[in-house]
Structure 1
Amino acid sequence: MKQKPPVQKGQIIECMIHGFGHSGTGVGRYDGFAIFIGGALPGEKVKVRVTKVKKTFAEGELLQVLEAHPERIDPVCPHFESCGGCQLQHISYGEELKLKQQQVEDQLQRIGLFSDVIIHPVKGMENPWSYRNKVQIPFATLEGKVVAGFYQLGTHQVVDMETCFIQNELQTELTKKIKQLVEKLQIPIYNETTHKGILRHVLLRQGVHTNELMVVFVTNGEKIASEQDVIKEIRRSFPIVTSIQQNINTNRTNVILGRENRLLWGMPVIYDTIGEIQFAISPHSFFQVNPTQTKVLYEQAKKYANLTGEEIVIDAYCGIGSISLYLADRAKKVYGMEIVPAAIEDAKQNAVLNKIKNVTFELGKAEEILPKWQEEGMHADVLVVDPPRKGCDVAFLDAATKIQPKRIVYVSCNPATFARDAKYLSEHGYHLQEVQPVDMFPQTSHVELVGLFTLQV
């Protein structure tokens, strides 16, 4: 007979925090039963109210820190506890990097069963603030007033924010100006419940190295009231803006962008660079939000690829071709594959933009294209993979091991699925030599990494 959980919903308990969850929660134990507690840190003793009880774990609300972590600090943002954007502002940045390091080590040991892999210290930022080049701001009305900011943690209630410490000051000031214009011109705000109103979100994208700025109004319909007044005032107040666009999304959905973009003024794209490579960025383009750390990440991938100019490289899940193009100057030929049609078109255009001719991009699922290439006898010296959070499909991994590249460079945004896939590769002829974590999102629980696998002879 299975034992009942030792806690009940609403119960107040005290427990020690022994671990760090992937979503930034502290992991405690009560009579051996796991409890996940937001805001708690490893090593702390806390008082908790149990909010949810499942068969194998519970969740709790932090009521009081009884014994604090020595590196616990006061969050700089007044919205830290209500906004879902950051999870780790309450610990020093040096200690945050150690927690992320531990997260990578734990996943590789628990899921991948690795005990002797070299895991380098996380590469962090010199200044872990104001790093985002993209921000998506939901608009709403609250008691008759326009509010704009971010969703409250676990809800679709908009938190009205004056500033955000991980986006830059220019984006903050532009958001304030747009909010004032919306109030002044009485532009109707979209209501999720009634599906009425016009303005849903404002998307801001910035070329950090080119100093170009794009403003996108996401609307529930084609017409924006006082459109020309909005454009005129934004141009007057922020001459740095080079593109003003409208994205039309009339669907009842949580997906922010619709399919149709309409250029209101300026250029259809902005540009930015990673190293020497220039990229054209549209409202829909996938482009890393932290350009400083993206260069760190790609340099690590290039180092692990160890290219001499004679290699054939396959870049799976290539997106807009950013890694493909970054490696092309050191490779004989690069083949990229991607499932999103718009991303493949962006990749091809970016290759033309940079006058890079030794790259080829193909549209389709990686788990279908690579087996096809393998059956056709394609050879690759280096395979680069940068999959979504769910990791690689088994069919893809199977084809990868049959092609037998000398090196596999795995870029991951999820240590858990990386560990799972690393275990598969290690059981099919590859040795995980080392892992380099990179902090792409300071103040959050997310950590990315680059792993190097070599073919065992």
Structure 2
Amino acid sequence: MAKHRAINTFKPAKKIAAKHSSLPIELKIDSLADDGRGVARHDNKVVFIADALPGETVLAKASRLHKRFDEAELLDIITASADRVAPICAIYYQCGGCQLQHLNYPSQLAYKRAKLDKVITGNGGAAAETAMLQASDTQYRHRARLSYYKGQLGFKAKSSHNIVAVEQCPLLENPINTALAQNRNAICRYFGDKAKGEVSFSADRDGRVGIHIQKDGFVDLKRSEQLAADIEAPAFLYSVTGSKGPAWLGASSPLQYQTLNALTLRYQPGDFTQVNTAVNRQIIDLCLAWLAPQPDEQIADYFCGLGNFSLALANAGARVSGFDAGESMIRSATQQALDAGLPIDYFCVDLFDSAAITIPAGCHKVILDPPRAGAKILCEYLAANKVVSSIAYVSCDPATLARDLAILSAAGFSIAQAAMADMFPHTHHVESVVFLTR
């Protein structure tokens, strides 16, 4: 019998109603849920247990009871899975950032691909066509957002608003870890004992690290100026904003985000960019291959952001129209297209409002990269418009992807190819790319 120490040290979020329900129970783990928790069955109910793996027999204690399912706290592992490994992070079982470090990386990839395969086959596609895009499973994040409260700078704890102090994170690019180590004391002094807020670190291709602080209350401009002087290069304080009053803005130049080959995007700390630059480049390359842009061909880029796909498509010869709701991003994207001399027209549009959506004249190919909420309204619009014949859909949520693919499938689109892109190793999040034609 394999014995392991208790893993979860946090108190349950909700008291158990029945006294006997808090007694330890032995459970057999059948599978992994979409959020990475182990799934077992007890008393004709599904039970979710964090940090448990399929095939394991565990000792657990109920932590929350619901009508249709229960949640339990892992106390001990009686029989461990052959796929279980030691986490690469010393604070993994306390930090809420990752969910799968206890599962070996090949099994993580198989788990995520299976989630996408289920979506693909459920909408008429073939699972055998699902490709895999991956890069390094460590040091892949080029940006991170930490929280500060009562002297602690770190990540939110699992199932809690508490903060777990972070010295170094194995998922962050080296320049961010270095900037964190060199400047955490200065940042903590700036906040003091009572203030709270968030600190964003963003690294660019040249190793510079921009720091943005969002804090409660007013911003002390003089103290912000002093913090800027205290930050060690190549890191720099980009800006400090508060919930009240004016912000402190530095004079540093924007960061550079490499997309494909020599193409770069200028961005500010706080702007949305894909956290995994290596996997992002693979996604762009795959979408270019699928859409095969021809000289002067019109292609629409929905949820375009700063132009992650627009620049690559235009650089390949297409005329691109980009659509997004973020005014500041659209302004930045427009200027960058002008500076690069690329034929891109950007429009500020609410893509969750069917009355605001348009398809450019002569446009037969589109790419969309929506947020986690998906693109239901846009997919309904594209489904009704018979002009569009090819769609590259980049998704960060299998559930909303399944819903949107059903809309497109009902309108005659079929899944030609698909890929699981491991944008977030050691977490349960699944990024995917699907190519549809009709």
Identity of aligned residues (%): 24
Which letter does structure 1 place at the counterpart of 2:312? Y
2:95/2:158 contact within 8 Å kept: yes
Compute the displacement of 1:190 (Å).
7.0
CA deviation string 1:206-236 (max 9, x = no partner): 10x22222122333322156444433332xx
2:117/2:130 contact within 8 Å kept: no
1:420 aligns with 2:403: yes
For 2:147, the equivalent position in structure 1 comes to 138
Distance in 2 (CA, whole Å) between partners of 1:344 and 1:190 is 39
Structure 1 residues 32 and 331: alpha-carbon distance in aligned structure 2, compared to 1, 3 A threshold: farther
Compute the displacement of 1:441 (Å).
0.8
Compute the displacement of 1:181 (Å).
2.3
1:158 to 153, 159, 163: 163
1:120 aligns with 2:113: no
Compute the displacement of 1:31 (Å).
4.5
1:189 to 192, 208, 219: 192
Which letter does structure 1 place at the counterpart of 2:380? L
1:221 to 207, 212, 218: 218
Q: Equivalences for 1:2-81 in 2 at 5 Å? A: 9-81=21-93
Structure 1 residues 453 and 10: alpha-carbon distance in aligned structure 2, compared to 1, 3 A threshold: same
SS in 2 for 1:383: strand
1:317 aligns with 2:327: no
For structure 1, the residue ranges without an aligned partner over 5 or more in a row are: 1-5, 192-196, 252-257
SS in 1 for 2:168: coil
2:257/2:267 contact within 8 Å kept: yes
For 1:430, the equivalent position in structure 2 comes to 413
CA deviation string 1:333-373 (max 9, x = no partner): 111111111121121122123221x2111111124468753
Distance in 2 (CA, whole Å) between partners of 1:203 and 1:60 is 33
Structure 1 residues 227 and 7: alpha-carbon distance in aligned structure 2, compared to 1, 3 A threshold: closer
For 1:147, the equivalent position in structure 2 comes to 152
1:129/1:167 contact within 8 Å kept: yes
CA deviation string 1:221-270 (max 9, x = no partner): 22156444433332xx42x23x422321226xxxxxx9x65323432x11
Compute the displacement of 1:45 (Å).
2.1
Structure 1 residues 314 and 68: alpha-carbon distance in aligned structure 2, compared to 1, 3 A threshold: same
1:336 aligns with 2:322: yes
Q: Root-mean-square deviation (CA), in Å?
A: 2.6
For 2:268, the equivalent position in structure 1 comes to 282
Compute the displacement of 1:279 (Å).
0.9
Which letter does structure 2 place at the counterpart of 1:189? G
2:190/2:227 contact within 8 Å kept: no
Distance in 2 (CA, whole Å) between partners of 1:55 and 1:379 is 53
Distance in 1 (CA, whole Å) between partners of 2:193 and 2:68 is 40
For 2:207, the equivalent position in structure 1 comes to 211
Compute the displacement of 1:156 (Å).
1.8
Which letter does structure 2 place at the counterpart of 1:444? T
Structure 1 residues 190 and 280: alpha-carbon distance in aligned structure 2, compared to 1, 3 A threshold: farther
CA deviation string 1:303-337 (max 9, x = no partner): 22122325321111111121111111234311111
Structure 1 residues 370 and 382: alpha-carbon distance in aligned structure 2, compared to 1, 3 A threshold: farther
Distance in 2 (CA, whole Å) between partners of 1:39 and 1:448 is 22
Distance in 2 (CA, whole Å) between partners of 1:117 and 1:226 is 56
Distance in 2 (CA, whole Å) between partners of 1:61 and 1:227 is 43
Q: Equivalences for 1:167-182 in 2 at 5 Å? A: 167-182=172-187
1:353 aligns with 2:339: yes
CA deviation string 1:18-75 (max 9, x = no partner): 2222221112222542221111112222222121222222111112222222121011
SS in 2 for 1:300: helix
1:270 to 255, 258, 262: 255
Using the size of structure 1 for normalisation, the TM-score is: 0.85
Distance in 2 (CA, whole Å) between partners of 1:415 and 1:393 is 13
Structure 1 residues 69 and 121: alpha-carbon distance in aligned structure 2, compared to 1, 3 A threshold: farther
For 1:393, the equivalent position in structure 2 comes to 376
Distance in 1 (CA, whole Å) between partners of 2:295 and 2:44 is 55
Compute the displacement of 1:80 (Å).
0.5
For 1:300, the equivalent position in structure 2 comes to 286
Distance in 2 (CA, whole Å) between partners of 1:323 and 1:370 is 24
2:383/2:407 contact within 8 Å kept: no
1:201 aligns with 2:198: yes
Number of aligned residue pairs: give it. 420
Distance in 2 (CA, whole Å) between partners of 1:262 and 1:182 is 15
Structure 1 residues 412 and 297: alpha-carbon distance in aligned structure 2, compared to 1, 3 A threshold: same
Distance in 1 (CA, whole Å) between partners of 2:89 and 2:211 is 25
For 2:15, the equivalent position in structure 1 comes to none
Compute the displacement of 1:283 (Å).
2.6
Structure 1 residues 39 and 124: alpha-carbon distance in aligned structure 2, compared to 1, 3 A threshold: same
For structure 2, the residue ranges without an aligned partner over 5 or more in a row are: 1-17
For 1:3, the equivalent position in structure 2 comes to none
1:107/1:419 contact within 8 Å kept: yes
Compute the displacement of 1:202 (Å).
2.2
SS in 1 for 2:133: coil
2:125/2:414 contact within 8 Å kept: no
Distance in 2 (CA, whole Å) between partners of 1:421 and 1:228 is 48
Distance in 1 (CA, whole Å) between partners of 2:315 and 2:50 is 45
Which letter does structure 1 place at the counterpart of 2:259? I
1:407 aligns with 2:416: no
For 1:194, the equivalent position in structure 2 comes to none
SS in 2 for 1:322: coil
